[in-house]
Amino acid sequence: MSMTTENFGLLAEFVEPDELVEATARIYDTGYRDFEAYAPMPVEGLPEAVGFPRSRMPLVVLIGGVVGCLTGFGMQYYLTVIDYPLNIGGRPLNSWPSFVPVVFELTVLFAALSAVLGMLAMNGLPRPHHPLFGVPQFDRVTQDRFFVCIRRTDPLFHEQTTREFLQRLGAKEVIDVPL
Amino acid sequence: MDDSREPTTYRRMGLSLLAGALGVGICIALASHRPAILWRAYLLGVVSCWLVSMGAAGLIAIGNLTGGKWAAAARPYYLASMKTLPVVAALLVPLAFALAQIYPWTQANSTGGESFSAAKADYLSPPFFLARAAAYLIVWLFVTRWLASVSRLELLPGSTLEMRRAGALSLVLLVPTVTFAAFDWVMSLEPHWYSSIFGAVLTAGGVVAAHALAVYGLARTPARLRRAIVDAAAEEVVEGDEKQVAGLFGDLGNLLLAFIMVWTYFSFSQFLIIWSGNLPSEIAWYERRLDGGWQFAALGVVALCFVMPFFILLSRDVKQNIWPLAVVAMIVLVGYGLNMYWTVVPAFQPVNTEELLASAGAMLTLGGLWSALNAWQLGRLLRTHFGGAIDRSRGQERC
C-alpha cells in the first residue's frame, strides 16, 4: 500500500481478552506510551496494563459539588438578606436552616453535571470521527475482538520493527490504520 | 489467657465490663438516694442498647433480602448484636415497675398533674402501655429468632428463599413496632410534644450504630480470620488477592456513608419542619436541647454523626483501608451515644448535675454490659463457623 508512510498507526487484533492484557502489558513495558487498547467489555487488569494514571474525576466532582453548595447558599443569601429583605415571622434574614434543602440539591446537581461534563471532556468527547473507524476489522470491537493500537506519534514507533513486535505478541493480524 | 477464646473479642469483653463497673460506681455514688434519677438514667442506657440490637436485626433482614458480599461478610457481626436482644428484653422488664418515676403522663388528668385529651390519656395509660410493650417484645423475640435460624453464615453472597422470606416479613414487622416503641418509651417522656418521624430518627441511629459496630468489629478481627470471612463472602476466591478485601471495605464504607446521610436527613427534616412552624408546643422540644449548654452537645452530635464521617468517607482511600474506616466507625459510635444522651436527658427538666452524671454513668454501665455480651456472642459465632482460621491466626496476632 502506498499509504503506509502517512498512516495513523498500527492496529493489532486479538481473539482472547487475556492475550490483549498480556500484549498491552508488554507494549507498556517496552516503553511505548502513545497507544490505546479496545475491548467489547470491561476486561479485568486492562486499565493497569495500559498504565492509566489515577483518575482526576473525583476532584472534578468535588469541585463541582463545592461550587454548587456555594451557589445555592449565595443565591438565597443575596435574595433574602441583600436584594429583598423580608421579615418572615420575626426570623433573622439569614435563616440558614431553610436554605439547606436548596443548598443540598444544588450541590448534588452541580456535582452530577460536573461528573457528566468532566467525563466527556476527559475522554475527548464528543468526537464524530476517528481513524480507527476506517478499518473494517475494527467493527468487531463491539462484539468479540480485542484490539490495541500504537500510534505513529509515539517516539518509539517504527513502521517495520513495531509491526514485527506486534506480530511477535501473538496478534491475529496487524493492520495499517489509514489517516 | 484462656486459649479457647478468640483474642480480640476476649479483650473487648474485659474492657467493656470494666467500663460497665465504672458506670455502676458513678451511678451509685451520685444518685443512690434519688431513685427517680437512677430509673431515668437506666431507661436511657437500656434504650440506647435496644436500638442497636434492633438496628442489627433490620440490617440482617435487609441483607437477607438483597444478598451481596457486604451482607455475607457483615452478617456474623450483625448477628452478634442482634442476639443480645433477649438480655435487652430482660433489662427492659424492671422499667415496668418504675413508670411513675420516669413518665410524667402517669399523673395525667389527676389533680396537679398534666392534662391531656381523652384519647391521649387512654393511649398513655399504664396498662395499655405495658400491654403494647409486651406485644413489641414478643414480636421482636420471634423475629430475631427466626432471622438467626435462617441466616447461614457459611453462605456465599446469595441468599436462600427462606432467608428472603424471613427478611421481608421481619422488616414489615420491625418497622411499625420499633417506631411505636420509640414513641412510647422515648417520645412520651415529653408527652405534649410529638413528631411522626421521631421513630424513624431513632431507628436510623440504631442502624448506623449497628453497622458502624460491624465495620469496627471486622476491622479489629485478626487478619487471617478476616480473610476467611471475606473469602466465605466472595463469589470466587483468588489466593492472595488483597483487592477483594479493599473492595469489600469500600462497600461497607459506602453503606456507612449512606446510612449516615439517611439519619441526618431524618433528623434535619424533623428540625427544619419544627423550626419553620415555630409553634410553642413543638419548638419547646428543641429549645430544651439548644439552650443552657445543650447547644454544644448538639454541635458535637452534628460533628461526630455527620460532618466528620461524611467528609472522611468521601475519600476512596479511606473507605478501602481498614484502620481509617475503623476510626470513622468509632467516631460514629461515640456520636450515636452522644446523640442518645442529647435526645433523652434534656427531657428531665430541670436537669441537675447528678442527673447529667448518672445518665452518663448508666450509659457506660449498660453500654459496657451490652458490648461485653456482643463480644461474647461474636467470639462464639466466629469460633463455630471460622474455627480453623482462628487456630491458624492464634499466636500470630494479638490486637
Show the 3-state SS of B243-257.
HHHHHHHHHHHHHHH
- Domain range enclosing B11: 7-388
B102: left (phi over 0), alpha (psi -120 to 50) or beta: alpha
Residue B45 buriedness (CB in 10 A; 0-12 / 13-18 / 19+): buried
SS3 A51: coil
**Share above pLDDT 90 across residues of chain B, in percent, rounded to a whole number:** 50
**Within 10 A of A95 (CB to CB), how many other CB atoms are there?**
15
Contacts of A98 in chain B (CB under 8 A): 272, 275-276
Clarify whether residues A86 and A133 are in a common domain. Answer: no
Report the distance separating Cα B76 and Cα B148, nearest Å.
10
Q: Are B246 and B321 in contact (CB under 8 A)?
A: yes
Domain count, chain A: 2
Between B355 and B211, the more confident residue is: B211
Supply φ then ψ for residue B395, to 5 degrees.
85, -20
Across the interface, whether the CB atoms of B268 and A100 are under 8 A apart is answered yes
Give B84's DSSP letter.
Answer: T
End-of-domain residue from the set A122, A139, A163: A122
Q: Assess B271–A contact: CB distance below 8 Å, yes or no.
A: yes
Buried b (16+ CB within 10 A) or exposed e, A126-157: eeeeebbeebeebeebeeebbbbbbbbebeeb
Helix B353-393 crosses helix B69-82 at what angle (to 10 degrees)?
130
Across the interface, whether the CB atoms of A98 and B272 are under 8 A apart is answered yes
Q: What is the pLDDT, as a whole number, of residue B392? A: 59
Look at residue B399 and tell me if it is in a domain: no
Mean pLDDT of chain B: 87
Q: Assess B398–A contact: CB distance below 8 Å, yes or no.
A: no
Residue B126: cis peptide before it, omega within 30 degrees of 0 = no
DSSP for A65-117, written as a single string: HHHHHHHHHHHHHIIIIIIS---STT--SS-HHHHHHHHHHHHHHHHHHHHHH
Report the distance separating Cα A133 and Cα A127, nearest Å.
12
- Domain range enclosing A83: 57-122
Buried b (16+ CB within 10 A) or exposed e, A17-52: bebbbbbbbbbbeeebeebebbbeeebeebeebbee
Q: What are the residues whose beta carbons fall under 8 Å from the beta carbon of A11, sequence distance 6 or more? A: A132, A135, A137, A138, A147, A148, A149, A174, A175, A176, A177
Helices (H) and strands (E) counted in chain A, each on its own, are: 5, 4
Of the candidates B376, B372, B7, B63, the residue with the CA atom closest to the CA atom of residue B225: B7
Q: What are the residues whose beta carbons fall under 8 Å from the beta carbon of B27, sequence distance 6 or more? A: B38, B41, B358, B361, B362, B365
Q: What is the pLDDT, as a whole number, of residue B389? A: 63
Instruction: Give the confidence band of B237 by pLDDT, cuts at 50, 70, 90.
Output: low
Contacts of B278 in chain A (CB under 8 A): 89, 91
Q: Which residue of A has its CA nearest to B316?
A: A58
Instruction: Give the confidence band of B159 by pLDDT, cuts at 50, 70, 90.
Output: confident
Taking only the tens place, the pLDDT of each residue in B135-154 is: 999 999 999 999 998 877 76
Contacts of A62 in chain B (CB under 8 A): 314
Question: Looking at the predicted structure, is the pLDDT value of residue A121 above 50?
Answer: yes
Clarify whether residues A49 and A61 are in a common domain. Answer: no
Between A55 and B195, the more confident residue is: B195
Q: What are the residues whose beta carbons fall under 8 Å from the beta carbon of B2, sequence distance 6 or more? A: B10
Handedness of CA B189, B191, B197, B199 (dihedral sign): positive
Report the distance separating Cα A129 and Cα A141, nearest Å.
16
Q: What is the pLDDT, as a whole number, of residue A72? A: 96
Of the candidates B275, B314, B316, the beta carbon closest to that of A97 is on B275
Report the distance separating Cα B347 and Cα B75, nearest Å.
36
Give A12's DSSP letter.
Answer: E
- From A97's Cα to the closest Cα of chain B, the distance in A is 6
Q: Are B140 and B54 in contact (CB under 8 A)?
A: yes
Block residue for cell numbers 447558599: A73
Clarify whether residues A34 and A62 are in a common domain. Answer: no
Instruction: Give the confidence band of A31 by pLDDT, cuts at 50, 70, 90.
Output: confident
Q: Are B140 and B85 in contact (CB under 8 A)?
A: yes
Report the distance separating Cα A24 and Cα A30, nearest Å.
10
Of the candidates A58, A62, A100, the beta carbon closest to that of B272 is on A100
Clarify whether residues A48 and A82 are in a common domain. Answer: no
- From B272's Cα to the closest Cα of chain A, the distance in A is 6
Contacts of A58 in chain B (CB under 8 A): 316
Q: What amino acid is encoded at A132 in this protein?
A: L
Q: Assess B316–A contact: CB distance below 8 Å, yes or no.
A: yes
Q: Assess B243–A contact: CB distance below 8 Å, yes or no.
A: no
Look at residue B394 and tell me if it is in a domain: no
- Residues A163-176 have a mean pLDDT of 84
- Residues B265-288 have a mean pLDDT of 92
Q: What is the pLDDT, as a whole number, of residue B160? A: 81
Clarify whether residues A81 and A132 are in a common domain. Answer: no
Give B110's DSSP letter.
Answer: S
Residue B350: cis peptide before it, omega within 30 degrees of 0 = yes
Question: Looking at the predicted structure, is the pLDDT value of residue A17 above 70?
Answer: yes
Instruction: Give the confidence band of B351 by pLDDT, cuts at 50, 70, 90.
Output: confident
Q: What amino acid is encoded at B27 in this protein?
A: C
Clarify whether residues A150 and A135 are in a common domain. Answer: yes
Of the candidates B185, B210, B3, the residue with the CA atom closest to the CA atom of residue B105: B185
Across the interface, whether the CB atoms of A97 and B271 are under 8 A apart is answered yes
Clarify whether residues A114 and A135 are in a common domain. Answer: no
Question: Looking at the predicted structure, is the pLDDT value of residue B113 above 80?
Answer: no
Clarify whether residues A84 and A64 are in a common domain. Answer: yes
Q: What is the ipTM of this complex?
A: 0.72
Question: Looking at the predicted structure, is the pLDDT value of residue B399 above 70?
Answer: no
Domain count, chain B: 1
Lowest mean pLDDT among A46-50, A114-118, B188-192, B263-267: A46-50
Between A3 and A165, the more confident residue is: A165
Q: Mutation test of the interface with chain A: which of B269, B312, B314, B320, choosing the one with the most A Cβ atoms within 10 A?
A: B314
Supply φ then ψ for residue B83, to 5 degrees.
-70, 0
Buried b (16+ CB within 10 A) or exposed e, B278-298: eeeebbebbebbbeeebeebb
Q: Assess B278–A contact: CB distance below 8 Å, yes or no.
A: yes
Q: Are B101 and B36 in contact (CB under 8 A)?
A: yes
Q: What is the pLDDT, as a whole number, of residue B269? A: 94
Q: Are B350 and B368 in contact (CB under 8 A)?
A: no
Residue B108 buriedness (CB in 10 A; 0-12 / 13-18 / 19+): middle
Clarify whether residues A66 and A104 are in a common domain. Answer: yes
Q: How many CA atoms lie within 13 A of B370 on its CB side?
A: 29
